[in-house]
Amino acid sequence: MTDITGKTAFITGAASGIGLALAKRFTAAGANVMMADINADALAAAQKTVIGTTATVVCDVADPTSVKSAADATLAAFGAVHIIVNNAGVSTAGKPGNVPLSDWRWVMDINLMGVVHGVETFLPILRDQGTGGYFINTASMAGHLAAEGMGPYNASKFAVVGYSETLAQELAREKIGVSILCPAWVKTGIADAYKNRPSGFDADDTAQHMAVEAVANGINADVVADWTYDCMMARRLYIFTHPHFHTFLDQRKALLDADATAAAADPRFAKPTG
């Protein structure tokens, strides 16, 4: 992809944070943007801050029917769609054995199934248009590195990474690109999303409060949006935003290598010689 002038991007979670920053970046590059979010009032306010051609649609990414309606609204507004940014997400914290299953389903329905619904809804449209396209799926550095107290969030983001890696392989032959956005701490409202979790708001949730503080000290969403745009243009699979986290990726690789080497050295797994 070399130019998005006149093309249409569909962005979920567009009322704030990275989604809103991407809407501004894409319109600045000449694209039309359909801003989708579950919060109608926040969405209307956010649209007023974007300079360029936009439309809005209320969309619950956990509901495939809602995503289908949002896709229909996008086509009705702009006639086509070319870039799909599956960005909406939530977070919650909790210790293993103490996380209500309702919270697990909430996180997975939005963070993972929201991406799945976006792909399954928009991919047939891209295929019918026959002009290629692009998916940007928001995961997290938590999709590569596990952190204590964030089991549901880590699991959902690891799943998005694995799913998106598969998509990248399968869609390359159709000239449909895939990037996986993997930020660490960014100044957005995601750390406050736990207040809406099904099990209710827990004012004494220490792990969640630590996440809120980390996010408050994160990088600006507009920096992430600029870099995401550049990486899409370069067709990068992974969009990393915090270079110092490379050390932790190296540590993870060392653990994988050590245990894989142990299996390779065990005679029970030796290749037959005859």
Residue 178: other Cβ atoms inside 10 A: 23
Helix spans in 172-220 (H): 206-216
Positive or negative torsion for Cα 56, 140, 105, 90: negative
CB contact at 8 A, 92 and 106 = yes
Token duo for residue 37: 């979010």
CA distance 201 to 195: 5
Q: What is the dihedral of CA 176, 182, 186, 190, to 10 degrees?
A: 80
**Would you call 163 a catalytic residue per the annotation?**
no
CA neighbor of 153 nearest in space, from 92, 62, 218 = 92
Catalytic residue (choose from 134, 153, 163, 194): 153
Helix spans in the chain (H): 17-28, 40-47, 64-78, 101-107, 113-129, 151-171, 206-216, 221-233, 246-265
Q: Where in the sequence numbering do the catalytic residues fall? A: 153
